[in-house]
Chains A and B, each alone.
Chain A
Amino acid sequence: MFGYSMAEIGNVFVMQGFSGLSLFSVLLLMALGLAIIFGQMGVINMAHGEFMIIGAYATVMLSKFAVKYDFVNYYFPFAMIVAFGLAFAVGYLVEFVLIRHLYKRPLDTLLATWGLSLVMQQIFRSAFGAKEVSAELPEWMLGSFKPTPDIDIPINGVFVMGLTALITAGVFLFMFRSRWGLRVRATVQNRVMAGAVGINTKKVDRITFALGCGITGVAGAAFTTIGSTGPTSGSLYIVDSFMVVVFGGAASLLGTISSAFGIAQAQSILQFFMTSSMGKVTTLLTIVIILMMRPEGLFASKIRK
């Protein structure tokens, strides 16, 4: 078939399947934090990418530290915790200083967080320099895993997939099985009523926002295994993140997951059969057409209007 043996085609099929799954987990990880902030709170956070970069820089810095004191093989889990903590703290602060004054003006949050993203980019540039840097990866994360001699499954891809599964499960448990999640959902559905039954809605807002930022920070840490980190790298992720969340239907986590899956598979398969740029264009066009027919996205929550 086309001058390739069946075995070759089979191998590529496996690897291609994996690359689709890997793209899926990357998109999902990117979008999870945004799904919480935008989906649950309705805040358009244009500084989403920069929160990711906080996590990425934390990882890079820790990796330098790890190289110095010779614990490169173990630092990564630690780095993710630090990334989460830092992004969470900054998110908490940003909510307190900026976002909470703007809940009733959603378009103003767009402008304010965009400004915030510019400020953060310049802070990164001043603090870490304009050049892109890379984290020193632990040995076990490099190279590929080979079930047969001709199939290579990148280990860092497997790592990101595992992490995504873990975090997604965590977010689900948090949102649907914990008291906090209950309060968050109550606040989203009816703020006044939630307040009336004794939920501190302001605190819920702050924690939810910070949590979304924290998860975004972990995503940033994970992405140091794939790409590089620079002051403006965050802007690379913002479009894809919004695309996934909006396409999935803003208020639904399940929607975010299925939209990430759909976009990733479509893009991955199309890019294999067409050129890269055409694959991307076709995917985007399809999304636009679907959104024209279903403006609420794939999984719209059923609300009576």
Chain B
Amino acid sequence: MSTLSRRRFIKASGALTIALIATGVFAGSAFSADFPTAKVNTTGLAVTDKTVKVGILHSATGTMAISETGSIQAEKLAIEQINALGGILGRKIEVIQEDGASDWPTFAEKAKKLLVSDKVAAVMGCWTSASRKAALPVFEKENGLLFYPTFYEGLEQSKNVFYTGQEATQQILAGLDWIHKEKKAKTYYLIGSDYIWPRTSMKIARKHIEQHLGGTVVGEEYIALGDTQFGSVINKIKLKKPDVIYAAVVGGSNVAWFKQLNAAGLNSSKQTMLTISVTEDEVLGIGGENLAGFYSAMKYFQSQDNQENKKFVAAFKKRWGDKSVIGDVTQAAYLGPWLYKAAVERAGSFDVDKVQAALPGYVFKDAPEGPVTVEENHHLMTKLRIGEWGKDGQAKVVYTSDYIKPDPFPKGYQ
């Protein structure tokens, strides 16, 4: 009796298991059945009937972890949301996360690992230009796909990279035009950290100020990365009395710069400043009271009032905690997985060449920053916004430009 019941039990449960698996398969493949793996993946990427592997390659440790953590969080959030909607072509995204450890050769090495041994279909990653430049040859040689989130100095365009942040001219020109018109600024003091992005940006800014705005640059200064003593520079600024300080100071120096500026009596009631290196992330360290009244030129601010952004901010806080803030790059990183999904669906294939060809021309309507278009040069056509910082660490958007075409190789600015 007991054996019989056990047999019946096994039979019944076996049938149940088979039924469950079958429904699971059908439910999962309801969409992917239309796109058999053999067809959508002809180059041996890690794409199965149910999953597609995507890499995330940022610094989770080291100096840059400060900045890159937000990007990792945004990319994971986007991927989780995409998976909740059924994935890409019916395939759930599986994340393989690698740590670039703030060390540029490591980025190249990990990119190689992701592309060659994991065969990921795409990579969301890199943050600093140095890390991108290190990983770029790997992506070009292995024909990988990189979605790069940071606003950067331009002068680059690779068929293997989509740049979801702004290139320099998109961030600089419209901002300078605004401050010139709005604040009647004639004299400018340029100050930045001493590496490629601020130097290239200031070169473009100087050309624009001198040739197009008829203004003068009364000082140009670069501070070693990590330097925290600004006394002499601030005194120089006090002597020159520029209408506008145009700043691109980054990292720990940024905090010292604003604190000391304020302590020296140069707050927003006495001095106009436009910066291209302060997002909500940096404000955490700088402190809203040291920034209040100064301006940032970015394409995105957390305080933007549109529906898509409100949804995004709510989802981000729900996933990563109420205290998290969202800066420009974090939002740009969030675009990466969504653009990838759109590109694959437009191409009807995961093959890198087809995905590359399919993405330009795509308009991402639901982007938190507002609709963006992917241009032929793999950069996004976006708007520029000027935010005025408040004591609470949030910026009020005081100006939104028209759409600006990306121009990574600007004529007359090099």
Contact = CB atoms under 8 A, between A and B. Distances in A.
Interface of A: 4, 8-9, 11-12, 15-16, 18-20, 22-23, 26, 122, 125, 129-134, 136-137, 142-144, 146, 152, 154-157, 223, 225-228, 230-233, 235-236, 267-269, 271-272, 275-277, 279-280
Given A23-B231, A132-B252, A155 B281 contact: no
Interface in B180-236: 194, 220-224, 226-229, 231-236
Contacts of B66: 130-132, 230
A223 B252 CA distance: 12
27 contacts: A18-B231, A23-B231, A122-B61, A125-B61, A130-B61, A131-B281, A134-B255, A134-B286, A142-B262, A142-B263, A144-B263, A146-B265, A154-B263, A154-B265, A156-B259, A156-B263, A226-B228, A227-B228, A227-B252, A227-B259, A235-B226, A236-B226, A268-B232, A275-B221, A276-B227, A277-B223, A280-B224
Nearest to B324: A131
A190 to B, nearest CB: 40
B15 interface: no
B223, B263, B285, most chain A CB atoms within 10 A: B263
A152 B265 contact: yes
Contacts of B254: 228
A228 B252 contact: yes
B287 interface: yes
A268 B236 CA distance: 11
Contacts of A122: 61
A264 to B, nearest CB: 9
Nearest to B241: A8
Contacts of A279: 232
Contacts of A152: 238, 264-266
Interface residues of B, number: 42
A131 B229 contact: no
B62 A232 contact: yes
Interface in B34-74: 60-63, 65-66, 69
Contacts, number: 132
B69 A23 contact: no
Interface of B: 60-63, 65-66, 69, 194, 220-224, 226-229, 231-236, 238-239, 252, 254-256, 259-260, 262-266, 281, 284-287, 289
B60 to A, nearest CB: 8
Contacts of A22: 231
- Please name the 8 residue pairs, one residue from A and one from B, whose CB atoms are nearest each other, closest first: A19-B231, A154-B263, A228-B255, A152-B265, A130-B65, A132-B285, A271-B232, A228-B285
B231 A276 contact: no
Nearest to B282: A132
Is chain A's interface secondary structure helix, strand, loop, or mixed overall? helix
A137 B289 CA distance: 10
A247 to B, nearest CB: 17
Given A132-B255, A276-B221, A277-B223, 8 more contacts: A9-B239, A134-B286, A157-B231, A228-B256, A230-B285, A236-B252, A276-B222, A280-B224
Nearest to A228: B255
Contacts of B266: 152
Nearest to A139: B289
B227 A16 contact: no
Contacts of A227: 228, 252, 255-256, 259
Contacts of A19: 229, 231-232, 234-235
